[in-house]
Amino acid sequence: MNKAIFHTIFFILIAGASCVFAAGQSNGEQRTDSTESINLIVDTEQSVVKWRGTEMRGSDSHEGILKLREGHLELDGGQLTSGYFIADMHSITVTDIPKSDPVPRRYLTEHLESEDFFYVEKYPTAGFEITQTQKLEADRVRITGNLSIRDVTRTVEFSATKASDESNFRYTASFTIDRFEYNISYQGSYWKRITSLIDNNFVDAEISISVELVALTMNN
């Protein structure tokens, strides 16, 4: 075979092999990108925790919000795998009593902050840490984690829904807790408890919690 022709064929084979190798690398990178871990910082300005408590078996209710102090989420392959958030208990706010009624609004807020309920002077934060996740659907995930309020940490489970755009990730979830399981009840002496029967017997045990987390990628 003519040496010039041989060199030409050899060059074509090498170039072709290089293209195939490069394409394989590119595909490998795409697979890596689709499964890479993404760290997200919870946007404390946009995120919020909403609470709702009832009285007399739901005949009356109060509700409000808590702001978050910090939070972090991690995604792997587009799925939520771990994370936590910390709520600032000093930010507890009553929203169902209008600001035009400052006295009852302040009274209820101070009562919630007191030792009778959340005791924010001693326990200024509450937190949740994810321990396990399970994909349910493309935009829904089952979350198991530890919820800490006052001096109690308990495991809770709930489903969360994800919505995302180019700039952030948004997760929403709702669940219910029994306040007595977290010592959110009158904590005084026996005789003082007798005078606070309204807190322990007329205020329902269940507290409904709704969480909306807005998270940004670390490089935003």
What pLDDT sits at residue 194?
52
- Whether residue 105 is found in the same domain as residue 160: yes
What pLDDT sits at residue 37?
84
- Whether residue 54 is found in the same domain as residue 75: yes
Q: Which two tokens stand for residue 40?
A: 């997200």
- Whether residue 9 is found in the same domain as residue 70: no
Lowest mean pLDDT among 21-35, 41-55, 165-179: 21-35
- Whether residue 67 is found in the same domain as residue 157: yes
Which stretch, 126-140, 158-172, 174-188, has highest mean pLDDT? 126-140
**Tokens 């530890």 -> residue:** 146
CATH code, domain with 191: 2.40.128.110
- Whether residue 28 is found in the same domain as residue 73: no
- Whether residue 151 is found in the same domain as residue 210: yes
Domain encompassing residue 142: 36-217
Tell me the pLDDT band of 192, cut-offs 50, 70 and 90. low
- Whether residue 41 is found in the same domain as residue 27: no
pLDDT tens sequence across 197-209: 555 567 788 999 9
Q: How far is CA 34 from CA 30, 76, 200, in A?
A: 6, 8, 51
What pLDDT sits at residue 204?
83
- Whether residue 106 is found in the same domain as residue 1: no
- Whether residue 26 is found in the same domain as residue 88: no
- Whether residue 9 is found in the same domain as residue 48: no
N-to-C CA span, the chain = 60
- What number is the average pLDDT over the span 172-188? 86
Tell me the pLDDT band of 51, cut-offs 50, 70 and 90. very high
Q: Is residue 158's pLDDT more than 70?
A: yes
What pLDDT sits at residue 59?
67
- Whether residue 8 is found in the same domain as residue 79: no
| 3-state DSSP of 61-114 | EEEEEEEEEEEEEEEECCEEEEEEEEEEEEEEEECCCCCCCHHHHHHHHHHHHC
- Whether residue 141 is found in the same domain as residue 181: yes
Number of domains composing the chain: 2
Which residue would you say has higher pLDDT here, 93 or 186?
Answer: 93
Buried b / exposed e along 164-199 (16+ C-beta atoms within 10 A): eeeebbbbebebebebeebbbbbeeeeeeeeeeeeb
Tell me the pLDDT band of 44, cut-offs 50, 70 and 90. very high
